[in-house]
Every structure is written in structure tokens, then in C-alpha cells.
Amino acid sequence: MQKYEEFISEILIPQERLQQRIKELGEEISRDFANESVLLICILRGGVMFLTDLMRQISIPTAIEFMAVSSYGVGRRSTSGDVRITLDLNTSIEDRNVILVEDIIDSGHTIHSVLEMLSVRRPKTLSICALLDKAERREVDVPVRYCGFTIPNKFVFGYGLDIDDYYRNLPFIGVVDLDKYQPEVKS
């Protein structure tokens, strides 16, 4: 297994800056929903680290739920927004303030499909909180209410974002130098 130091080109967002912005997002959510409660729905797996840090910064009553979705299309990348739920919610979202917690929004197809699926379940409010937004890659307009960082179109990893299922545990967001990264050959 290759060490990340061998292929990282830069630390795009250091740990301290991540944590400061997450604190600000938690404060903003707490103000927006003062005297109410929120249900945070984490889209697995990349959003878990963000969710755990974010919920500690929210001062109003907060519940959590998890969803796993799989998008499919040509070349393992969804181009049509075809999404399949692989893990659905265990609780009703009807008449609740729901915030989807996502690690990164790229083309927008997957999160747009999730929003459509959840909106028919009649939440009181439904919004998105994304740690990272690659706005220049957007193909489908999605209303990101809470955005941590707008980032350039670079291959990023760390802080929940993986490369071949590894490196999610890093406390920062790094950029991959694709010329130096060597994918692990799985047998």
C-alpha cells in the first residue's frame, strides 16, 4: 500500500481550517433552526467524518440517520442520475427539518436524485450541507444551503474522501498527483 506522502501534491484544506469552517456551519444551522430540531442524514460513507464533527457544533436538538446510495452509468460514473438506495432510513422524515450531510458535490446528479426521493416523504424542510462543492463540474443545479468550501476541479482525498477505499482517516483534504499515485492491484 502506497503512503499518501508519495502521491500528495498539496494539502488543499488543512485540519485547522476544516474544523473552523465546520464550527461556523454548526453555528449557522443552530441559528437557522433556533427553537426547533434537525435531522441530519449522512450519505455514507464519505460523509461520516464530516457528520460527527458537524453535529458536535450544533447546539439545538439533533438526530442522525444514514443513507447509502449507489449511482450507476457509463464508466462507473452516473451521467443520468440513476440512483439506487442501498441503505434506506429507519425513521420517518415527515414534518421534520432534514439536512442532507454530504462530503462532496460534483456533477450534482446523485444528490439531486436523493433530494427528489426524500421530498416525496414530506419533510418540513429539506436542505443540503456539503463540506466540499466542485461547482465548476456541476451538471444539475442543486440548492446547497450550507457549503464548507468551494474547491477547484481536482482529485481530492482525506477527511472522509477515499482513494480506492483508503485514506478516509486523514484529518485534512489533500490533492492527488495522479502521475505519482499507483492503484493497488486487487487479486
pLDDT in tens, 41-57: 998 888 999 999 999 99
Q: Which residue in this structure is represented by grid cell 466540499?
A: 132
User: What ranges do the domains of the chain cover?
Assistant: 15-154
Neighbours of 116 (CB within 10 A): 11
Q: What is the pTM of this model?
A: 0.90
Sign of CA dihedral 44, 145, 113, 156: negative
User: H or E element: which one contains 174?
Assistant: strand 173-176
Mean pLDDT, residues 98-102: 97
Which residue, among 6, 1, 4, 18, has the nearest Cα to 159 in the 3D structure? 18
Statement: 15-154 belongs to CATH 3.90.1170.40? no
Q: Identify the band that residue 85 occupies on the pLDDT scale cut at 50, 70 and 90.
A: confident
pLDDT at 74 over 80: no
Which whole-number Å values give the CA distances from 179 to 5, 6, 40, 132, 162, in the listed order?
Answer: 13, 11, 38, 24, 17
Query: How far apart are the C-alpha atoms of 108 and 111, rounded to whole Å?
Result: 6
Which whole-number Å values give the CA distances from 80 to 45, 67, 71, 109, in the listed order?
Answer: 22, 20, 9, 7
Confirm whether 106 is a catalytic residue: yes
Q: Output the pLDDT for position 91.
A: 92
Of the residues 106, 133, 164, 177, only one is catalytic, namely 106
Mean pLDDT, residues 158-171: 94
Mean pLDDT, residues 112-140: 94
